[in-house]
Structure 1
Amino acid sequence: MKVNENTSLEGHRVVLVPYNAEHVPRYHEWMKSPELQQLTASEPLTLEQEYDMQRSWREDNDKCTFIILDKQRWADPSVEEEQCMVGDVNIFLTDPTDPSLAELEIMIAEPSYRGRGIGKEVTLMMMSYGVAKLGVRKFQAKIGLDNEISIGMFKKLHFQEVSVCKVFKEVTLEMTVDESVRTKLLDDATFMKERDYRQTCSNRQELVSQ
């Protein structure tokens, strides 16, 4: 999605940046993991296919994707951005007749970053962005039945279980964003700072060259 191609979102422990070509090799290595393939219901792709996917996520109007970076590591300009990657988060506008309906998907790919509250922080940031910038009024999350941690996290964020598909072994949870929910989401994410991604990258490069 073009709307976020020059946007970075800074939280307490993470920075969300657009999914660029330089992120693809690390992402491709992640997705060789059978565990991540199962958790994300994904098929393994070739590196060339992964580059094609990255381009579609950048260009298509129904996909909004950010790469999750470790903020502490990213604050060190000598560390390449690819080495700061810990996962990704996506909003998919799944219904062409209703652009206010969004499916939310988050992946913490690096095992050492799981169970530390990062998923919750990223989810709040992405929901706030979706409400404020994309006009989302209903969020869905489709999660594998055996992914109890993710199911628990979304329920703590007040998502409600609406259906279970035993064929695909997944549960669908939803949150309707009325005015009170919208206000709370934006209030809960006041810690998030939106910045110009091009400028932050330029600043990092300048620090390295000094």
Structure 2
Amino acid sequence: MRENENTVLRGQRVLLVPYERHHVPRYHEWMKSEELQKLTASEPLTLEQEYGMQQSWREDADKCTFIILDAVLWDQGCPEHHCMVGDVNLFLTEPDNQASAEIEVMIAEPSFRGRGLGEESVRLMLSYGITVLGITIFEAKIGQENLASIRLFKKLHFQEASVSEVFQEVTLRWEVTEQERHWLTEATPFQMATYSEIKQSITDRKS
């Protein structure tokens, strides 16, 4: 999505940055994992195909993705690709009026799971979806065996909407009422910056 190509969201523990070509090799290594393929219902891709997917995420108006960086590592001066821990995505299901979207999150690095990075990333993406994209309904489709993700989204006020025995997945839904919007705003302080500023800070570190 061009909308977020120069946007960075900064929370307390994570930075969300747009998915760029230089992120692809690390992302490709993640997706060789059979565990992640199963959890994300993904098929393994070649590196060339992964570059094509990155371009699709950049160009398609109904897709929005951010790479999740660990803010602690970033603040310590680690190279950007060493700070990568996962990604968070929106699939706009009604792209004409952008009223609803499916949300996904993946913490790909095992050592970074269970630290709350996935939860904060989802909160930031929900805030971005509401304030910038005008999303009013979010859905999460999760494999029934992925109990950690189901617990995460229920903690974030998502309610079970349906269960598919055929696909072995549960659909959770969150509607953006004024009460829910206020709860999210209070619970999710964040800053919005430009990716150009982030990349300049990398250049400054190297000089």
Question: Deviation at 1:181?
Answer: 1.2
- Segments ≥4 residues shifted beyond 2 Å: 95-98
2:32 maps to 1:28: no
Q: Distance in 2 between matches of 1:99 and 1:134?
A: 7
State the aligned residue count.
Answer: 207
1:51 match: 51
- What SS does structure 2 have at the residue aligned with 1:134? coil
For residue 84 of structure 2, what is the aligned residue in structure 1? 85
Distance 1:28 1:148 in 2: 25
Aligned-CA RMSD value = 1.1
Unaligned runs of 5+ in 1: none
3-state DSSP of counterpart to 2:163: strand
Cα distance in structure 1, aligned partners of 2:61 and 2:160: 28
Q: Distance in 2 between matches of 1:36 and 1:130?
A: 25
Q: For residues 98 and 4 of structure 1, what CA distance do their matches in structure 2 show?
A: 17
One-letter code aligned to 2:176: V
Task: List aligned pairs for 1:7-156, cutoff 5 A.
Answer: 7-77=7-77, 79-96=78-95, 99-156=98-155
Deviates more, 1:134-143 or 1:174-183: 174-183
Q: Distance in 2 between matches of 1:44 and 1:12?
A: 33
Match of 2:184 in 1: 185
Describe the shift of the 1:7–1:96 C-alpha distance in structure 2 as closer, same or farther (beyond 3 A): closer
Amino acid at match of 2:171: T
Partners in 2 of 1:37 and 1:184 — Cα distance? Answer: 33
Distance 2:199 2:95 in 1: 34
Contact kept in structure 1, 2:39 and 2:143, CA below 8 Å: yes
Q: How many Å apart are 1:187 and its aligned residue?
A: 2.2
Q: In structure 1, what residue type is equivalent to 2:26?
A: R
TM-score normalised by the chain length of structure 1:
0.95
- Within the candidate set 194, 198, 201, 2:199 is matched to 201
TM-superposed deviation, 1:203: 2.0
Render the CA deviation track for 1:94-142: whole Å, top value 9, x for unaligned. 2346521110000000001111111111111110110000001000000
Write the letter of the residue equivalent to 2:120. E
Q: Matched residues, percent identical?
A: 58
Alpha carbons 2:61, 2:95 under 8 Å: kept: no
By how many angstroms is 1:196 displaced?
1.1
CA deviation profile, 1:140-177 (whole Å, cap 9, x unmatched): 00000000011011111111001111111100000111
* 1:162 maps to amino acid: A
Local SS of the residue matching 1:139? strand
Tell me the distance in 2 between the aligned counterparts of 1:126 and 1:97.
Answer: 20
> Quick one: which amino acid aligns to residue 155 of structure 1?
K
